[in-house]
Structure 1
């Protein structure tokens, strides 16, 4: 089979648990691109937080892509926006009405800024710490939002988030996408704004049959992409739900699972 595109999630997939791209994984993805295979970096992070990893992998040199907001914003190698999707403003109040009583922090993004309500918990600062952007706290978040948002990012205790996920699905599940992107992160996205749809847009733009795409991921928000790709690969450290829908399971992110799978598929040579 002739593979033409590799899509990689960032956290606990491309990055090891030290939050680094290992030299072996980087070399493998560079070799794949030298062999004519494009690379797309896909994440739930805002594009500002995705671009540095695209730079490390030299996707701008090789004509690749990067995707933020789980497919809500898709950029090509010229930093042109080729796909975008926003959460309809009519859902701001209904979503927040469910979140308001809970001990969770609700966040939205604007450009390279993160805004949050004033309910601070142990998980509040993970997003800002990981991508290196300050958290701007506002008292009345729904009233403060006067721009098109890509998503709600909700941070809190994993057990409470699972309960909130079911409440949101019960009331709004037919109208918006709701899923965990990490045990401590729950996301509310526009319907069909996910990594799977994002991968389809990238393949369409690149003139690639999605059956010739390989995708790597580890968490719930990667399921769409893993199912959409011709070959979906779960990391060894992936959630069981993702492993069940993957075509194969590779080694974990600390053992260069991406590089090993690319070699097994014949995309690169040792």
Structure 2
């Protein structure tokens, strides 16, 4: 298998990171072996570039492209855009609608590497703890002035977010796509954005045929890239439909699933 895999794309949360948001020593060592083979390893996540970069540095892959916001922004060093797919003008219209009809929802705007919000609440504190980032606090008027907008993250109670999703389904959201990344996290990006797009852009960038790409992930937003790659691997902690759609299933993120998959399918070692 080592002669076939020429490019690897991996999700981060629930995949590279344990349930305690940590990297294992085994995974770091395995990535060093992958790097020694000159096989590009791309971290793809809903996180911002600044949320990905510290993880990439610990893994030794910081010089590779980083796919942030599920591919809305791919950078070469955490800042310089390689590919950019910002929200259309409808994104700012959405912010106004949500502020008016759902005032308790936490509004989070991601523009390039920065995270902006207009209020401090428990959701902001939770997200800051997970991502090890701090937002830039702005007035709502200044929030609307941010450009480009690569992602909107809307956080609230699960019931609130479900109600918001139902509301958005009644709106004409041209060129916008939205999905739940958690039961209380609603993410909105350009409709062109997906991890499958990351797969195609990175395969073209490195001139690697899709059949020579390995992808690995743990959730529904990883499914498109798992299906499109030559070898799509689901984590053992992934939902059943994700595992059923993948080519292979590895151990969970708390059992070194990524390291085990890379050793088996790339390094040909036990």
- Aligned residue number for residue 258 of structure 1: 258
Question: Which string of whole-angstrom CA distances, capped at 9 and with x for unpartnered residues, describes residues 211-239 of structure 1?
Answer: 21111112233223223322221211123
Tell me the number of residue pairs that the alignment of Structure 1 and Structure 2 aligns: 267
Query: Equivalents in 2 of 1:51, 1:78: separation in Å?
Result: 6
Secondary structure at 1:17 match in 2: coil
- Aligned residue number for residue 225 of structure 1: 225
Could you say if the C-alpha distance between residues 244 and 210 of structure 1 is closer, same or farther in structure 2, counting changes exceeding 3 Å?
same
TM-score by length of 1: 0.87
Provide structure 1 residue ranges, at least 5 long, that are not aligned to the other structure.
none
Query: Equivalents in 1 of 2:117, 2:204: separation in Å?
Result: 35
TM-score by length of 2: 0.87
Query: Equivalents in 1 of 2:53, 2:101: separation in Å?
Result: 35
- Aligned residue number for residue 65 of structure 1: 65
Provide structure 2 residue ranges, at least 5 long, that are not aligned to the other structure.
none
Query: Equivalents in 2 of 1:78, 1:153: separation in Å?
Result: 20
Query: Equivalents in 1 of 2:24, 2:208: separation in Å?
Result: 28
Query: Equivalents in 1 of 2:215, 2:267: separation in Å?
Result: 13
Query: Equivalents in 1 of 2:181, 2:42: separation in Å?
Result: 19
Could you say if the C-alpha distance between residues 224 and 141 of structure 1 is closer, same or farther in structure 2, counting changes exceeding 3 Å?
farther
Query: Equivalents in 2 of 1:164, 1:142: separation in Å?
Result: 23
- Aligned residue number for residue 34 of structure 1: 36
- Aligned residue number for residue 237 of structure 1: 237
Query: Equivalents in 2 of 1:100, 1:217: separation in Å?
Result: 36
Query: Equivalents in 2 of 1:56, 1:143: separation in Å?
Result: 32
Asked whether the 8 Å contact 1:31–1:268 carries over to 2, the reply is no
Could you say if the C-alpha distance between residues 93 and 79 of structure 1 is closer, same or farther in structure 2, counting changes exceeding 3 Å?
closer
Give the stretch that moved more between structures: 94-103 or 186-195: 94-103
Query: Equivalents in 1 of 2:213, 2:175: separation in Å?
Result: 29
Could you say if the C-alpha distance between residues 25 and 114 of structure 1 is closer, same or farther in structure 2, counting changes exceeding 3 Å?
same
Q: CA deviation at 1:111?
A: 4.8
- Aligned residue number for residue 51 of structure 2: 49
Could you say if the C-alpha distance between residues 211 and 80 of structure 1 is closer, same or farther in structure 2, counting changes exceeding 3 Å?
farther
Q: CA deviation at 1:41?
A: 0.7
Query: Equivalents in 2 of 1:223, 1:96: separation in Å?
Result: 32
Query: Equivalents in 1 of 2:136, 2:227: separation in Å?
Result: 36
Q: CA deviation at 1:80?
A: 4.4
Give the stretch that moved more between structures: 43-52 or 26-35: 26-35
RMSD: 2.5
Query: Equivalents in 2 of 1:89, 1:159: separation in Å?
Result: 28
